[in-house]
Structure 1
Amino acid sequence: MDKKIFVEKGTMGAIGAWVMDQFDLLIPTVFLLTLLMIIDYLSGMLASKKEALDHPNNRQYGWNSKKSLLGIYKKASYIFIIFVAICTDYIIYKFTSELGIKFEHKTIFGLLVSIWLIMNELISILENAGRMGANLPDFLKKVLTEMQGTIEKKGKKL
């Protein structure tokens, strides 16, 4: 099942990147990602505050500056990842034209990475909404749980 989710997520990202490449939508995509990162950060803070109210005597719950700072570092690393992807796009585009190879797509990797990160942000926002008490549809809970399990397994392998 892990491979299926990975393939589906990659396929959705590739299709989205191709469509956006056709319309030169890298800047709006990065803008959307930035907006989602802010929403995810805020929803995470609200979810932590809500959990602190639910568990007043448990210090594991609630907002703290260390978690907040780590979240900001993670979001900043997204910008670096996109920068590397865009540089890769530029190198491919520039050198294929220098070699006389026609390569019309200027930003395929930048878009793929941006869309991948957008999907991760959307999942995180939904998880935060669930932590705040929102009732998510059962099918959405199942998909989120499977994706979360996949991410955890991949993280353990690193």
Structure 2
Amino acid sequence: MEKKILLNRGIITGTLTLLIRKMEIIGPILIILLLLMSLDYISGMLAARKEGLEHPDNKKYGWNSKKGILGIYKKIGYVFTVLVAMSVDYIIYRYTQGIGLEYETKTFFGELVSVWFSLNEILSILENVGRMGVTLPDFLMNVLSELKKGINNKK
């Protein structure tokens, strides 16, 4: 069983490494996005647990496996969307070269989508931390909201 898990991890790691290398994708923003997605999921579970402890008789609060699964599906959707955006970048870059046009960047859409999702995850983490009882500075929430709006308006 352990050998199978290690084999699967190796296959996934190798495949992702090959994709990143072949498509010349900017790695740091993807790593940041994956880290933020994990932190968001964990902070959401912790916030739900805290609310469940505070309201033990109310089923509206606490851990909910349906919400957890839907959250995982949403994160998988993020990954698919980023991969599609990167594919668009790759297609545009390769085929503009083929017809003699200059397209200077290789990662515009993939990077833009990754940054947008990263900002979304940061806002969600801060909301979850707020649900855990942490007082958040208004300026931080405002700056992040404005950044997200700015990216939305550039579409």
- Provide the rounded CA distance (Å) in 1 between the counterparts of 2:138 and 2:114: 28
Equivalence for 1:136? 136
TM-score, scaled relative to structure 2: 0.74
Aligned runs of 1:8-157 on 2, under 5 Å?
26-140=26-140, 143=142
Equivalence for 1:8? none
Letter in 1 for 2:122: L
- Provide the rounded CA distance (Å) in 2 between the counterparts of 1:102 and 1:137: 44
- Provide the rounded CA distance (Å) in 2 between the counterparts of 1:25 and 1:46: 33
Q: Matched residue of 1:135: which SS?
A: coil
CA contact (8 A) 2:25 2:107 kept: no
Q: Which runs of 5+ in 1 are unaligned?
A: 1-23, 151-158
Deviations 1:36-70 (A, max 9, x none): 00000000000000001111110000011111000
- Provide the rounded CA distance (Å) in 2 between the counterparts of 1:139 and 1:104: 36
Equivalence for 2:3? none
- Provide the rounded CA distance (Å) in 1 between the counterparts of 2:66 and 2:96: 45
TM-score, scaled relative to structure 1: 0.73
How many Å apart are 1:25 and its aligned residue?
6.9
- Provide the rounded CA distance (Å) in 2 between the counterparts of 1:99 and 1:85: 21
Q: Which has the higher contact order (CA 8 A, sep 6+)?
A: 1
Letter in 2 for 1:38: S
Letter in 2 for 1:33: L
Letter in 1 for 2:33: L
Letter in 1 for 2:47: A
Letter in 2 for 1:127: E
Q: Which runs of 5+ in 2 are unaligned?
A: 1-23, 150-155
- Provide the rounded CA distance (Å) in 2 between the counterparts of 1:52 and 1:129: 15
Q: Identical aligned pairs, as a percentage?
A: 54
Considering only CA atoms, is the larger Rg found in Structure 1 or Structure 2?
2
